[in-house]
Amino acid sequence: MLKVNDLHACYGESEIISGVDLQVDEGKVVCLLGRNGVGKSTFLKSIMGHVRTPSGTIEFNGSRIEKLAPHKRARAGIGYVPQGRDIFPQMTVRENLLLGLEVRGGKGDVEHRIFELFPVLKDMLGRMGGDLSGGQQQQLAIARALVAQPALLILDEPTEGIQPSIIQEIGRVITRLKKEGNMMIFLVEQYLEFVLDIADYCYVMEKGRIVLDGAMGELSVDEIKKRIAI
Ligand code: ATP
Ligand code: MG
C-alpha cells in the first residue's frame, strides 16, 4: 500500500503541493486528475524523491520512504514512468529494456511476459528508441518500468499526445495488470474517458490540493469534468 499523509512539496521557495493525503491500496488502480499546472507531476516527483518535501509522510508497504534517495525508492518496488516518455533515443529497444533491470542490480531477464503485453516491442528489439513512434516510445517506457517487476507502477499522463489505437492498447495492458491483481497502479491523467473504465478510485487536484476524491463509480462525472475543464 502507498499512503501519503499531509505532504508538502516545493521548488525553491515556492510551495507547489500543499498538504496532500492520498492512498493506493493493493491491487487497485488509482488516478489523479487535474488541469495543467496544478502540481500533478510535482506530486509524482515528490513520491519518487525528485522534489523537496519539507513536511508530510510517505509510507510504502509498511516503511516510511520520504527521506530515501530516489534509487532506493525504486528499489523498494516503485516503478515510475515520467511525463513525456523518458526513453533513451540513442539506445536500442533491447538496451532500453535491459536498463529496467538495473533497479534490481542488473540481474535477471527481460521476461517473456513483457512481449505478451507489448508485442510490438518484440519486433523492434534492434531498433533505436528514437526511431519508434511516440506511442511506441510510451509503450517502451512502460515496459521498461515493468521489467523491474514493481509493486507499484506510477504513470504520468500515459495517453498524452498518443494516437487512439495505442491509447487503447495501453488501457488493455493496465486492465490486464489489474486483473492479475498483484500490482498497484497510480496514474496521472487529463483524459477522463481513459480512466473512467480502468480506475477504482479517483482524486482531483487543484493548486496543489485534493479538492475531490472518491470511488470511481460513486463520483459524479459532471463534477469531475467541471474541475478539470479548461
Ligand atoms: P501538466 O498537466 O501540464 O503536466 P502538472 O499538473 O503536472 O501540469 P506540474 O508540472 O507539477 O503540473 O507543475 C506545477 C507547478 O510547478 C507549475 O506552476 C510549474 O510551473 C511549476 N514547476 C514545475 N517544475 C518546476 C521546476 N523544476 N522549478 C520550478 N517550478 C516548477
Ligand atoms: Mg504534468
Q: How many domains does the chain have?
A: 1
Sign, CA dihedral 123-125-130-131, equals negative
Residues 30-63: pLDDT tens digits?
A: 999 999 999 999 999 999 999 999 999 999 999 9
Helix H, strand E, coil C: the string for 23-42 is EECCCCEEEEECCCCCCHHH
Run means of pLDDT, 10 residues per run, the chain, 230 residues? 98 96 97 97 98 97 96 96 92 94 79 90 95 95 95 97 94 94 94 94 98 95 91
C-alpha cell at 222: 459532471
CATH number at residue 223: 3.40.50.300
Supply the residue whose CA is at minimum distance from atom 3 of ligand 1: 36
DSSP character at residue 178: H
- Ligand 1 pocket check for 41: Cβ under 6 Å: yes
Q: What is the pLDDT of residue 106?
A: 73
CB of residue 38 inside a 6 A radius of ligand 1: yes
Q: Contact at 8 Å (CB) between 170 and 145?
A: no
* 162 CA to centre of ligand 1 in angstroms: 21
Which residues constitute the domain of residue 219?
Answer: 2-228
Whole-structure pTM value: 0.96
- Ligand 2 center from residue 84 Cα (angstroms): 9
